[in-house]
Structure 1
Amino acid sequence: MPAPPTTSAPVRRRPAAAPAPPQQFKVLGPVRLYRYGEEASAGSPQQRALLAVLLLRSGRTATAAELIDAVWGEDPPSQALAALRTYASRLRKVLSPGVLVSESGGYAIAVAPGSLDLEQAQHLAAEADRCRTDGKSARARMLLDKALALWDGEALAGVPGPFAEAHRARLEAWRLELREARLGLDLELGAHAEAVSELTSLTGAHPLRERLRELLMLALYRSGRQAEALAVYADTRRFLAEELGVEPGPALRELQQRILRADPELGGAADGPEAPYRAALVRPAQLPATVPDFTGRTALVDELVTLLTTEPGFLTAISGAAGIGGIGKTTLAVHVAHAARSAFPDGQLYADLQGVGPRAAEPETVLGSFLRALGTPDAQIPDSLHDRAALYRSMLDRRRVLVLLDNARDSAQVRPLLPAAPGCATLITSRVRMVDLAGAHLVDLDVLSPEEAVQFFTGIVGEERVAAEREAALDVVSACGFLPLAIRIAASRLAARRTWTVAVLAAKLADERRRLDELQAGDLAVRSSFELGYGQLEPHQARAFRLIGLADGPDISLAAAAAMLDGPPEETEDQLEALVDTGFLESAAPGRYRFHDLTRLYARACAEREAPRERDAALTRLLDFYLASAAEAYAVEHPGDRSVEHLAPTSRAAAEFSYLEDARRWLGAETEGILSCARQLAHGARLRRAIDLLWSVKDTVGVRSPRLYHETAAAAKRAAHAARDAQAEGRACAALTAVHLTAGDLRAADAEAQRALVLALAVDDPVTGAWVQYDRGVIALQEGRFPEADRCLREALSRFRADDNPFGVASALCQLSHVEAGVGNVRSAVALAEEAIERIGSEAATLALAESRYALGIALSATGRTGEALSQLDQALVIFEDCGQALGEGMVRFRRAQIQLALRAPGRAAAEAEQALAVLSRVGGDRRRADVLVVLGDAMAGQGESARARTCWAEALAVYERVRGPEGEELCRPLRERLHRAGRTAGEGAGRAAGS
């Protein structure tokens, strides 16, 4: 991590929550001073220069001669001393009393801790360095971001004098070092594609800085752009030879060689009345045997053993993060206890508290057992719980005993059993998280990782049988939910059946309806583990457990659960939190809950056995809740769009959205739940509602999760086709059209759109009939078929007007603006985009407004009004970023890159193009990527990076050559010419180099 400039103020440690000083100073930008948050005038440039000198001397006094030299240099004015005193007098008036001190004809400023932005940056950088050393890369990166954010342009901007000039250079060099360090952390944390844009810009501004080139090469390589990474090296080598006559340094040369060979490491004595009892104490050894095949959890075991053996009176409570039995709490605790037993020479106590059984062990009974194990005769064991606990603590005083309390019911059961002696330690296991157990170190034990699970399975079954069927073994442990108990049962069954293959076992476990029946062997059974807890639930809790388990999503929100249970949110929350406390549910996040896979299967089995009539009603209520809420969110995002009025009616109230951002947050949180619900219920009487749910979120959920959305919509389309429901199939086709358009697969989008149109016309569906014509116009527009695009969009416009849909009208006008711009009618393009914005209104930052501003930006650019164009594109970008629309964000950055290139700013164009590539990589589309690569190549050529430019053009050409017909040739021709000229120039340069 870079060190701060040595002449700057020292780093002072400050309390994290210290109040802001009444006076604050800034030098990382224009020199400014603030009093109680309000900026005060720092005066003339020379007065600011004086202030800067005093601030950067860390409270040390500067003589008048030193100050004159710092402010004016070798040619001070004749009245420099008088001017200096005047500036000091003026500063004293705006500074807090006592801040500016006069000493021996000189001056000093007493800077309060935390009042200077440079000091804050130094503190953050030092803390980041410590975090990086401790392996906390994410926090280190965040701290460096905060440090860099303190800069407001060039340090000491506008301050005259040699002192400011020298320090300005040092501070800017440090700033660059901090950016290098932060970019290095970006690469450590996997943000390779995002780092390329900034690195491209920085290498252009600092071409001789080899560390930046090294980071750029590594970022490109890790982004799958090996050719460009090698091109950066070629450009660097040529530049260094031409400018300095030297070769790249050893770090760059070594990185090039590692990239060429695809180095995989590139891609981590007793007194008192109780003395007789202590003297009689024996050394119990009650720990159960540890399992010989204990697997995984190495870091957790090491951590707990260390804490047990080093922390006086250590107390830990292990609960299951998945909230179920069989997760390995007892196995872990016993394993840890055996590993730490040498640190407890006075013995180890163990008790099964039977907290999940119908009758939990009473504390006084357990204490009686412990006292006997410690050598207390029955006649000397008191009767009351209080007296037994007191004697127990007395006998353990000044002893080192480890106590393991297994299967605790709650904290009240455990408290009397806790030793008070600092030399003792306690391990507790429980299905509930004992947050009310004071001083306890809480451990949430999760299921095994896939690698640990396969290793555990292999240890029981045997390496030879598993090695040949590793994928099947992963299927088995996945079907077991990575739950240790389930894996042990499955592996034990396979080990006992030599004729079975791993694939045979995987096939048996693939049937969810029979999986719990398969997971039993001897006296081990997953179902039995669940039944113990289920039998203790109150009736209303058991009903909630059964019904919530019917939903397919990875988790469920409180509002969705309330819909399924047909109850108020407050009552539903109480029931779900009770299930969390009993271990059957996990609180995934505030207001969200989830099941372990096997627990869900058990809940469904209970629902099928005990409440078959309620199952369908609960799932229908869930679908209606999602559809009503999604339609409401659609209406908020698409104001004036009457399409939602044509969706299937629902019987549930929607979630309430007070504003646009609220609706977007709900859609983001419910993406997987919506898709799971639609996939689960797209059949029978609920088919249309499930497909309408998909249609209403095509512009939001479809963009966030395109692959999962596509799979769900395709399955729904097949179900609609089998049911011969033309309206449902047409809307499913329309949903698929949207997802193909986003992915840039225009051929597939057009095929779905044509099928949707035929179906819509057959049943006169106003939703599909209008929007599919709109989509077909967009497809034709993107393929350069402007007459067809114009025809389709005007047909869509007519249908929107017939349905009195102002939002649809504005959307069609926006796309017609693109058509007009494409054929050169730029004035008409501007007018159409402006009309679209007027119809939509600019009060709410909707996606439609972003699309219209994007269209207007393109049209204005074509008229030469680049400043206005960039303003419109900037406003569109903010909306696209706020709602997570990667396609829109990427296309705006692409257009801004084109404009910057036209303005002869290749550095800015390259940075925008790199950002466009990073964003568009999340949505796909080779054609869009090729378009951006052309602009990036042009920008690289403009910066003299010829090798990288050729690489970009060649990659784009390979894509364009797959485009059929005249359009493909029109795209390829100029690129071939660029590559030919660049190749000829490169050859001439090589010839001159050889001749020299």
Structure 2
Amino acid sequence: MDTGTPTEGDLGQQLRELRARAGLSQEDLSHAAGVSVRALADLERGRTRGPQRRTVQALADALGLDPATTAELEQAASLGRPRPSAGCAAPNALALPRDIQDFTARGPALDRLLALTREIDPAHPPVVLVSGKPGLGKTSFAVHAAHRLAPHFPDGQFALDLHGMDPVPTTPRDALARLLRAVGVADSAIPAETEDRAGLLRSVIRNRRLLLLLDNAADEEQVRPLLPGTGPSLTIITSRHALAGLASVHRTELGLLRREEAIELLTRIIGLRRVQQEPQAARDIADLCGHLPLALRISGQRLAARPREHLSRLAAQLAQEGRRLDTLQAGGLQVRAAFALSYRQLAPVHRRLLRRAALAAGPDFSPETAALLADLPLAQAARYAEDLVDAGLLQPDAATERYRFHDLLKLFAAEQSAAEDSTDMCDAAQDRAARWMLRRATAAALRFDADHHRNTPDGDPDPASAPADREEARVWLEAERSQWLAALRRAHAAGHHQQVIDAAEAMHWFSDLNQHWEVWVEVFQRGVDAARALGDKQAEAIHLNYLAWSYNVCVYDHHAALMAADAALQVARAIGDELQVGWALGYGAGALDRLGRIGESLDRLREAAACLGTQTSVQGRLGELTVLNTLGTILRRHGRAEEALSIHRRCEAICHAGMPGQPTELMAMYQATAQQQIGNDLAALGRWSEAEPPLRQSLAGFEAAKMRAWSEPARLDLGLVLRRLARYQEARETLLAARTGLGEVNNPREVEVAAEIRELDRLTAGS
């Protein structure tokens, strides 16, 4: 549509007349042109006189102007743009870099920036800090956002690299000079002092709608003088550092891409066809790149440059850890180089902490581990770890004081350790950490031992920082599982057999709290091996029994459980240890039951009960309780619920009577077990109302002790009874909770609860 020639005059007058002739409101034109209402109002009022060409073209397209009228509008706009003075750099000297055509994801972060742009308060011009670890694409994101936002800032968009990762970053004084030239200030008018330059910049831009991109900032002191004081401008800062000292900024911390986003980026670079031909290889590449945008871009550009190369070939190369960083380079792009920039910025002690922390076992580590490996005081190690978080080199846990590496950064840190630390130094660091970890783990686990229950951290390497009670000990043992397990392996490899036996023995009672951990097979196998190495037959029988338990309960390998129990039985009989004979018979019976050999199982249980019944020790009585509970359970499963109920009532009576010297908490667990079985016995007899109270008591007991491996099956049993009582809503809630809990502890009764929920759905269909 040709709206005709507007009346001659300034840009604002022309724009008002053109909009009126087109019959558009400011809101209509804003929506059609992609220019904010505020920016449009500033143009029409003459507050903004020199919008960029792209903004003028967007307005012309929205107004339907012919080429001649568009040219006149552009001419009016050009008169209001700053002119370079003699000796000045051109105003576009700090023009935005080229946008990346295949930019992927980051939608929510972009939306937050757009929202900020729509709500700028000139009294408080927004400052956005984009931070994160190396390789996350902070600059790409900021440049892409700046191009998206350009129409909202018609007075200019400027990008300045502050060279924060260079040995000598750009000084605030030099940065201010470049910005002043970019906005049209002559060299001769630029003051000498940094503070005066900052004041002049704030004055010049206070009424302009500018977008400033300050890329690659080194620290707070570098960027503070560059920030506008007032006005409708937007400043975007990118930095590998958190710049925690900057106040009143909107923080955008970029994270890793999700897997589907990582594959989308790869697809945009190499094309959909190649990804569709090898979808699993594409997924593998995304995962091996750790969903890090830089690594994905390098992989994609390498594949794009080799159109005949199979994705599976690159995936196979990336799968080799020793070659992964070498593979992740394409032309001038290198993941290793990106990490090295940050590493070189660190003080020597921070470098040591970073590279030594790569020696830690498992996915994360604590300040204690870092301190031991780096040979630093704990307080210093904790402080330096936080510094590395601020530098984008470590990821903090959201709830606890623990840290983790990105996979590729861990490979880089390990490379630096190999290059800068001798083999002897690394071995010494790992030995030091292993000795400390194993001592603390042993002391912490002993708090759960029925024979050695205590509230003092006997044997702890640092009593002052030791867990204060059983709950803290549990939290520590669970959090540091990877570290103390690695320490156990190291002690075993070094031939420290008694330390291995002591640690494994200490873990025996604690293992009941975490029956779903498959590591118990390894822990107790190492105990067996250490006992054999020392020729300690009693320890061998004990740890073979523990091993049989772990095969039965933790990994459900009942053939292996029977083999371990039979080996324990043979050793125990050879040395005349009746307590271990009884336990071996009981564990073997459990395996036989699960293998369907019911008669043999019952015979062994009766023999075990008779054997343990003659024992006067507390361990003998506890063993008898365990065997009787198991005997009753098997009898109930095979239609003999009345016998089972009698046996379980007997177990409950023993628990009520108590055992001298035993902690109340321990007897409560045995009582909760008896109550669970009594409830199940009553249910098997169809006495549903009577079954509910003992099952509720059992569940409450296990929950109070935080024994999820025990509480979740009890919750399922209660749900079964509630369904039979036709309390369907309560049954559903209980069963759904049990399904979640059983899944989390890897219990095979997940199948049972799923079937029960389906039956409940059938019963309540249409109700």
Classify the TM-score, shorter chain.
0.7 to 0.9
Deviation digits for residues 927-986 of structure 1 (CA, Å, limit 9, x no counterpart):
78559968997x999xxx4999xxxxxxxxxxxxxxxxxxxxxxxxxxxxxxxxxxxxxx
- The answer for the alignment partner of 1:398 in structure 2 is 207
Q: Aligned in 2, Cα 1:815/1:622: closer, same or farther, shift over 3 Å?
A: farther
Is 1:852 aligned with 2:671? yes
Is 1:540 aligned with 2:349? yes
- The answer for the alignment partner of 1:600 in structure 2 is 410
* Mapped contact 1:817–1:859 kept (Cα < 8 A): no
* Mapped contact 2:628–2:647 kept (Cα < 8 A): no
Uncovered stretches (5+) of structure 1, i.e. residues with no partner: 1-268, 272-276, 644-648, 949-996
Counterpart-to-counterpart distance in 1, 2:95 and 2:706: 58
Q: How does 1:148-167 map to 2 (within 5 A)?
A: none
* Mapped contact 2:208–2:233 kept (Cα < 8 A): yes
* Mapped contact 1:489–1:520 kept (Cα < 8 A): yes
Counterpart-to-counterpart distance in 2, 1:832 and 1:716: 28
Counterpart-to-counterpart distance in 1, 2:181 and 2:747: 74
* Mapped contact 1:563–1:622 kept (Cα < 8 A): yes
Is 1:839 aligned with 2:659? yes
Deviation at 1:639, TM superposition (A): 2.8
Q: Partner of 1:845: helix, strand, or coil?
A: helix
Q: Aligned in 2, Cα 1:411/1:935: closer, same or farther, shift over 3 Å?
A: closer
Q: Aligned in 2, Cα 1:655/1:283: closer, same or farther, shift over 3 Å?
A: same
- The answer for the alignment partner of 1:518 in structure 2 is 327
Q: Partner of 2:350: helix, strand, or coil?
A: helix
Q: Aligned in 2, Cα 1:297/1:918: closer, same or farther, shift over 3 Å?
A: closer
1:315 to 97, 106, 127: 127
- The answer for the alignment partner of 1:819 in structure 2 is 631
Counterpart-to-counterpart distance in 2, 1:935 and 1:299: 38
* Mapped contact 2:257–2:293 kept (Cα < 8 A): yes
Uncovered stretches (5+) of structure 2, i.e. residues with no partner: 1-45, 49-79, 85-89
> Structure 2: which amino acid aligns with 1:582?
A
Counterpart-to-counterpart distance in 1, 2:467 and 2:756: 43
Task: Answer with 858-867 or 752-761: which moved more.
Answer: 858-867
- The answer for the alignment partner of 1:363 in structure 2 is 172
Counterpart-to-counterpart distance in 2, 1:788 and 1:860: 25
- The answer for the alignment partner of 2:224 in structure 1 is 415
Task: Say how many residue pairs are matched.
Answer: 656
Counterpart-to-counterpart distance in 1, 2:609 and 2:430: 39
Task: Answer with 542-551 or 874-883: which moved more.
Answer: 874-883
Q: Aligned in 2, Cα 1:577/1:827: closer, same or farther, shift over 3 Å?
A: same
- The answer for the alignment partner of 1:384 in structure 2 is 193
Q: Aligned in 2, Cα 1:830/1:442: closer, same or farther, shift over 3 Å?
A: same
Deviation at 1:617, TM superposition (A): 2.8
Deviation digits for residues 869-900 of structure 1 (CA, Å, limit 9, x no counterpart):
86664443234224553442233335546777
Counterpart-to-counterpart distance in 2, 1:359 and 1:549: 29
Task: Answer with 748-757 or 433-442: which moved more.
Answer: 748-757
Counterpart-to-counterpart distance in 1, 2:471 and 2:294: 44
* Mapped contact 1:392–1:419 kept (Cα < 8 A): yes
Q: Partner of 2:129: helix, strand, or coil?
A: strand
Q: How does 1:751-900 map to 2 (within 5 A)?
A: 751=562, 753-754=564-565, 757=568, 773-780=585-592, 785-792=601-608, 806-807=618-619, 809-819=621-631, 822=635, 824=643, 829-836=648-655, 838-839=658-659, 845-846=665-666, 849-856=668-675, 858-859=677-678, 873-896=695-718
Deviation at 1:757, TM superposition (A): 2.7
Counterpart-to-counterpart distance in 2, 1:327 and 1:763: 64
* Mapped contact 2:541–2:568 kept (Cα < 8 A): yes
Q: Partner of 1:408: helix, strand, or coil?
A: coil
Is 1:488 aligned with 2:297? yes
Q: How does 1:908-927 map to 2 (within 5 A)?
A: 916=738, 919-923=741-745
> Structure 2: which amino acid aligns with 1:615?
C
* Mapped contact 1:854–1:892 kept (Cα < 8 A): no
> Structure 2: which amino acid aligns with 1:881?
E
Kindly report the root-mean-square deviation, in angstroms, between the aligned alpha carbons of the 2 structures. 4.6
Counterpart-to-counterpart distance in 1, 2:546 and 2:764: 44
Deviation at 1:447, TM superposition (A): 1.5
Q: Partner of 1:398: helix, strand, or coil?
A: coil
2:313 to 473, 484, 504: 504
> Structure 1: which amino acid aligns with 2:303?
L
Counterpart-to-counterpart distance in 2, 1:668 and 1:722: 24
> Structure 2: which amino acid aligns with 1:787?
D
Deviation at 1:431, TM superposition (A): 1.0
Counterpart-to-counterpart distance in 1, 2:515 and 2:653: 32
Q: Aligned in 2, Cα 1:498/1:788: closer, same or farther, shift over 3 Å?
A: same
> Structure 1: which amino acid aligns with 2:415?
A
Counterpart-to-counterpart distance in 2, 1:650 and 1:773: 35
Q: Partner of 2:397: helix, strand, or coil?
A: strand
Deviation at 1:363, TM superposition (A): 0.3
Deviation digits for residues 615-658 of structure 1 (CA, Å, limit 9, x no counterpart):
22333344344433433343222331599xxxxx9978796232
> Structure 1: which amino acid aligns with 2:390?
D
* Mapped contact 1:621–1:652 kept (Cα < 8 A): no
Q: Aligned in 2, Cα 1:408/1:493: closer, same or farther, shift over 3 Å?
A: same
Deviation at 1:389, TM superposition (A): 0.4
Deviation at 1:461, TM superposition (A): 2.5
> Structure 2: which amino acid aligns with 1:855?
A
Q: Aligned in 2, Cα 1:512/1:759: closer, same or farther, shift over 3 Å?
A: farther
Is 1:572 aligned with 2:388? no
* Mapped contact 1:777–1:790 kept (Cα < 8 A): no
Deviation digits for residues 689-748 of structure 1 (CA, Å, limit 9, x no counterpart):
679867765776787584xx4378469969998999699999997666445533683634
Counterpart-to-counterpart distance in 2, 1:476 and 1:723: 45
- The answer for the alignment partner of 2:3 in structure 1 is none
Deviation digits for residues 293-339 of structure 1 (CA, Å, limit 9, x no counterpart):
2111122223213323432312100111xxx3111000000000011
> Structure 2: which amino acid aligns with 1:336?
A
Q: Aligned in 2, Cα 1:930/1:430: closer, same or farther, shift over 3 Å?
A: closer
Counterpart-to-counterpart distance in 1, 2:293 and 2:736: 46
Q: Aligned in 2, Cα 1:308/1:507: closer, same or farther, shift over 3 Å?
A: same
2:518 to 710, 717, 721: 710
Counterpart-to-counterpart distance in 1, 2:144 and 2:270: 21
1:741 to 552, 558, 562: 552
Q: Aligned in 2, Cα 1:908/1:543: closer, same or farther, shift over 3 Å?
A: closer
Counterpart-to-counterpart distance in 2, 1:548 and 1:759: 45
* Mapped contact 2:303–2:311 kept (Cα < 8 A): yes
Deviation at 1:914, TM superposition (A): 6.5
Is 1:296 aligned with 2:296? no
Counterpart-to-counterpart distance in 2, 1:716 and 1:635: 16
TM-score, normalization by structure 2: 0.73
Counterpart-to-counterpart distance in 1, 2:388 and 2:281: 34
Deviation digits for residues 200-246 of structure 1 (CA, Å, limit 9, x no counterpart):
xxxxxxxxxxxxxxxxxxxxxxxxxxxxxxxxxxxxxxxxxxxxxxx
Q: Partner of 1:556: helix, strand, or coil?
A: coil
Q: Aligned in 2, Cα 1:834/1:652: closer, same or farther, shift over 3 Å?
A: farther
Q: Partner of 2:104: helix, strand, or coil?
A: coil
Q: Aligned in 2, Cα 1:486/1:789: closer, same or farther, shift over 3 Å?
A: same
Is 1:610 aligned with 2:429? no
Counterpart-to-counterpart distance in 2, 1:602 and 1:365: 34
> Structure 2: which amino acid aligns with 1:788?
R
Task: Answer with 779-788 or 685-694: which moved more.
Answer: 685-694
Deviation digits for residues 238-270 of structure 1 (CA, Å, limit 9, x no counterpart):
xxxxxxxxxxxxxxxxxxxxxxxxxxxxxxx78
Task: Answer with 480-489 or 622-631: which moved more.
Answer: 622-631
Q: Aligned in 2, Cα 1:543/1:410: closer, same or farther, shift over 3 Å?
A: same
> Structure 2: which amino acid aligns with 1:819?
L
Deviation at 1:775, TM superposition (A): 2.9
- The answer for the alignment partner of 1:374 in structure 2 is 183
Deviation at 1:353, TM superposition (A): 1.2
